[in-house]
Amino acid sequence: MADPDAPRRRSDVTRTAILEAARQRFAADGYERATVRAIAQDAGIDPSMVMRYYGSKEGLFAAVIDVELILPDLNALPVDDVGAVLVGHFLDLWESDSVLQTLLRVGATNEAGAARMRDVFAGQILPLAERFVVTRKDAARRAALVASQVLGMALVRYVLKFAPAADMPRADVVAWLGPTVQRYLTAKAP
Amino acid sequence: MADPDAPRRRSDVTRTAILEAARQRFAADGYERATVRAIAQDAGIDPSMVMRYYGSKEGLFAAVIDVELILPDLNALPVDDVGAVLVGHFLDLWESDSVLQTLLRVGATNEAGAARMRDVFAGQILPLAERFVVTRKDAARRAALVASQVLGMALVRYVLKFAPAADMPRADVVAWLGPTVQRYLTAKAP
DNA sequence: ACTGTATGCCAACGTCCGTTGACCTCTGGC
DNA sequence: GCCAGAGGTCAACGGACGTTGGCATACAGT
């Protein structure tokens, strides 16, 4: 019986090596400074392999950011816990997966990265906000507020590395940001 | 009687033209994609002038981000208004001056930009937080929280351009973020 | 009026980048 | 055992970049 995880092509191991190296380089250096040559060297292959399998640097980047980013379903949660749990999940996501770091770094200067970031939040936070309000416009606004706080914390904690933010224990971040997010989602509009 | 504003050197007009062009390019494109050649063309001069007056691209960038960024003194304000006024002032700053946009864009991928961003907030927000708490560590933590919310809003509003955030009227931003910042500064630690 | 210096342009250098095409090498099916 | 094709290397191209040095011009001090 065939192993369903077995590579379908002999090249699959190379393909994923490239992808993994690209993930890390893009996340660490941003789009421009992450060179195809450096990525290829990390993956232990020739730069021309990148072109063969991903067409161009842009194609490689598109493959890197084309990942499903799924937040756990929070609909079953008690309404009062949504803020804290959401903040906690985002912290997990940032620390376990480099895709968000990539998007934040690249989104600052690259329109494709910014667009993907918008998509991610439209797909993840917007539906969440729609649970609490009636009009779509109000939901979008609340989702943007949540995004501003969650992304802002990621920015100062993981990218800019403000010491007080980077050193703050996870529980403290949740305790401070949870009520903020909770209020953005559920409070009456001011 | 000599005009005190008169240029001390004939080249001062060129120098400032370069600086202004650099400001806009760095703010719009980030460090890597803002080329010396493009900046020179915007300023209407030869690229070699940039090297003559600023030594290198890095020197030019250093000159761009070496500006005083002064928040109005909020010490005279009623304690309850600090959050809202602070948010309002930051919105003004972002919309009137491209330096912060530059720092945010560049800070995402460039360590010098990130370091300058840390300096700015250590100089501006940290003293503010020290008004409300006793220990220096607590003040640093609260300043970081304020920075996360203020920078996060700037990120989604001006850089990533999330439509709901970008379209939100200034007064609404103040109304939503003011209480958050107020809480980060004055609330009892959770 | 003369001269030293500041200001500016032009052409070029060396480097690094993304990308290409020619050329080996291994492997699986017949 | 042969061979088509996939996997991989190598060298090179064309272009853009930061940067440099040489040369022309305009100004200011005498």
Report yes or no on A52 lying in a domain.
Answer: yes
**Average pLDDT rounded to a whole number, residues A31-54:** 97
Give the CA-trace dihedral at B41, B43, B44, B48, to 10 degrees: -70
Chain A residues closer than 8 Å to B25 by CB: none
Strand, coil or helix: A131 = coil
The one-character DSSP state at B64 is H
Q: Quick one: B117 and B177 in the same domain?
A: yes
Closest Cβ opposite residue A148 in set B33, B144, B152:
B152
Q: Quick one: A105 and A60 in the same domain?
A: no
Instruction: Please judge whether A162 and B118 are an interchain contact, meaning their C-beta atoms are less than 8 angstroms apart.
Output: yes
Report yes or no on A5 lying in a domain.
Answer: no
**CA distance linking residue A121 with residue B132, whole number of Å:** 35
> Which region holds residue A20: left if phi is over 0, alpha if psi is between -120 and 50, else beta?
alpha
Mean pLDDT lowest among A36-40, B5-9, B91-95, B185-189: B5-9
Residue A187 has pLDDT above 50, yes or no: yes
Average pLDDT, chain B: 93
Residue B141 has pLDDT above 70, yes or no: yes
Chain B residues closer than 8 Å to A180 by CB: 149, 180, 183
Q: How many domains does the structure of chain A reveal?
A: 2
Q: Quick one: B60 and B101 in the same domain?
A: no
Mind telling me how many Å the CA of B29 is from chain A's nearest CA?
Answer: 6
Q: Quick one: B18 and B104 in the same domain?
A: no
Residue A46 has pLDDT above 60, yes or no: yes
- Quick check: pTM over 0.95? no
Q: Quick one: B37 and B120 in the same domain?
A: no
Q: Quick one: A125 and A178 in the same domain?
A: yes
Q: Quick one: B48 and B85 in the same domain?
A: no
Structure tokens at B40: 């020179």
Report yes or no on A70 lying in a domain.
Answer: no
CB atoms within 10 A of CB B47: 16
B135 lies in which domain range?
Answer: 79-186
Q: Quick one: B87 and B175 in the same domain?
A: yes
Q: What pLDDT shows up at residue B5?
A: 46
Report yes or no on A73 lying in a domain.
Answer: no
User: Phi and psi dihedrals of A139, rounded to 5?
Assistant: -65, -45
**Average pLDDT rounded to a whole number, residues B124-128:** 93
Q: What pLDDT shows up at residue B7?
A: 54
Q: Quick one: B98 and B138 in the same domain?
A: yes
**CA distance linking residue A106 with residue A33, whole number of Å:** 10
